[in-house]
Amino acid sequence: MKRAKITVVGAGNVGATTAHWCASMELGDIVVLDIPQAGDMPKGKALDLMQSAPIMGFDSNIIGTNDYADTANSDVVVITAGIPRKPGMSRDDLLATNAGIVASVSEQIKQTSPNAIVIVVSNPLDAMVQQAQMSTGFPHARVIGQAGVLDTARYRTFIAMELGCSVEDVSAMLLGGHGDTMVPMPSCTSVGGIPLNQLLPESRIAELVDRARHGGAEIVGLLKTGSAYYAPAAATAQMVEAIVKDKKRLIPCAAYCDQEYGVGGFYVGVPVILGSNGVEKIIELNLSGQEQADFQKSVDAVLDLVKTMNGLMASAGVA
């Protein structure tokens, strides 16, 4: 059986850890790419990871490179490239800078791996996945954003910690954009098949929902000089697995919604069936009045973000 070829663009903490998880899961052969200014750093990380293979017992081949030619004909490309927000940098500065980076990466992917499925991890996520699709011109189903798997994992973790139970028994779903406006769905949350509202009072559920919304910011506050990467990388690897193994996982991803949920042509977090063709189906849930209101608020925030990005990119002369 031919091994899948997986490229991870960006050899920082998220990218390198994504390669680590994918290798340990034996999802395929892996190329870790970074910009020429990074020098031999991606080669060093790839070689270090390869040398763990005899110990951990995986047979994935891993290379590091600065040349997109080495990524040619990848089955899956993960984009983690971008910069974190720095002191003195406005939200628009971050948006414009990362949109430019994602556009450049996407144009390279279009040339070297025209049949790839693209998973975008770069932030601000919902705008970056929109930019990647516009720059590649790939079918919407083959360009996906990683956010919902991570956000749901945080939500599930906090529930398990609260109840003192296994995270494996917690099932949850959320919708909307990645960030403060995400919409955890208590009505779609259960533990061992028991609805969450039978195990916790509504007030406590609301507190856990709020903590999930700010899960990334909580980690940034604790780390002081960085942001989360273990869980974001693990979430990305789960999406890669669903694609290369055609697992048809029902998980939340940033997917292109047109008629679905009345979004009208933007990427937003929704439940999807994820398999070898990318997003194979979007699952539409019946939302309560409050859930619908919260979801629309999240969608509106995504639309504002994308419109701002498009204006900034147009001003910079980037399509």
Catalytic residue numbers, as ranges = 178
- Are 145 and 256 spatial neighbours (Cβ–Cβ below 8 Å)? no
Q: Are 181 and 193 in contact (CB under 8 A)?
A: no
Using CA atoms, how far apart are residues 272 and 127, in angstroms rounded to an integer? 19
Question: CB 59: neighbour CB atoms within 10 A?
Answer: 10
DSSP class of 186: G
CA distances from 164 to 158, 169, 210 (A): 10, 11, 19
User: For 42-103, what is the HEC assignment?
Assistant: HHHHHHHHHCCHHHHCCCCCEEEECCHHHHCCCCEEEECCCCCCCCCCCHHHHHHHHHHHHH
